Amino acid sequence: MLGNAYPWVKAAHLIFVIFWMAGLFMLPRYLVYHQEAPIGSPEAAQWVEREGKIRNIILTPAMVMVWVLGLTLGANRGLFSGGSGLGWLHLKLLLVVILSGYHGWAVGYAKKLAAGRPTLTGRQLRLINEVPAVLVTFIVILAIVQPF
């Protein structure tokens, strides 16, 4: 389907994965710092602004591109036509769905903090901050090794 464009689409997909992951590593760290700022303070307002910028400039556009390019690559491999030997891709997609859910949670929690309604402790946020690293580790292994 993609012919000679395949390596270019794959490269673009990987570039946007890197951007998305950078945002997913940064935003939860921002949330920790934001939560530690006094509610209603100028510092908290700065964190709201920073979170909005990372979300609107990097995080969400990168995620959209990852999905568009990734599904294009999947279609090229036979994902939608019943291609065989794609168990690894199905699991990878499931993990990317979970990672997308994490993205949504982080954006939602940023909005809670902006409204002055934190519901987690700093320790809990620091632990949750590790979720993308764990998921992307398995996603990369599945994409490179294609174990099944």
- Which residues are documented as binding site for heme? 13, 92
Angle at 137 between CA 134 and CA 139, to 5 degrees: 110
Which tokens in the block code for residue 116? 């002055």
Rg (CA), the chain: 18
Specify binding-site residues: 13, 92
**Which parts of the chain are beta strand (E)?**
none
| Buried-exposed string 55-78: b where 16+ CB fall within 10 A, e elsewhere | beebbbebbebbbebbebbbebee
Angle at 53 between CA 52 and CA 57, to 5 degrees: 120
Angle between helices 87-114 and 131-145 (to 10 degrees): 160
